[in-house]
Amino acid sequence: MPGAEADELSAHLRGCPSCRAELAELRDVAELLARSVPQPPGHGPVTRRGAGRRPRTGASLNGLNGACAYGSRGPGRSR
């Protein structure tokens, strides 16, 4: 996500508890989905470090973090 767009999303999340809660749920789902894909033999878990952040694994390593759900719609969505 481009820097300006990420900044806008972060600003919105700081002021919107319902979106923060939904984002947390979506991160959990993305993590479960990433773990459900079988890994080829000889490929153990991969861990990378970001700049001053916790190790990245699973969904976040593959770019499937909760921010990709920004703008999602459907039952229970707050729009």
> Is residue 43 one of the residues assigned to a domain?
no
| pLDDT tens digits for range 27-60 | 999 999 888 888 777 766 666 655 655 655 555 5
Which H or E run contains 19?
A: helix 17-36
Residues 9/63/57/67 CA torsion (nearest 10 deg): 20
Provide the number of structural domains found in the chain.
1
The single residue listed with the structure tokens 């973090």 is 65
pTM: 0.44
> Is residue 32 one of the residues assigned to a domain?
yes
> Is residue 24 one of the residues assigned to a domain?
yes
User: Which residue segment(s) compose the domain that 21 sits in?
Assistant: 17-36+48-71
> Is residue 65 one of the residues assigned to a domain?
yes
> Is residue 4 one of the residues assigned to a domain?
no
pLDDT at 71 over 90: no
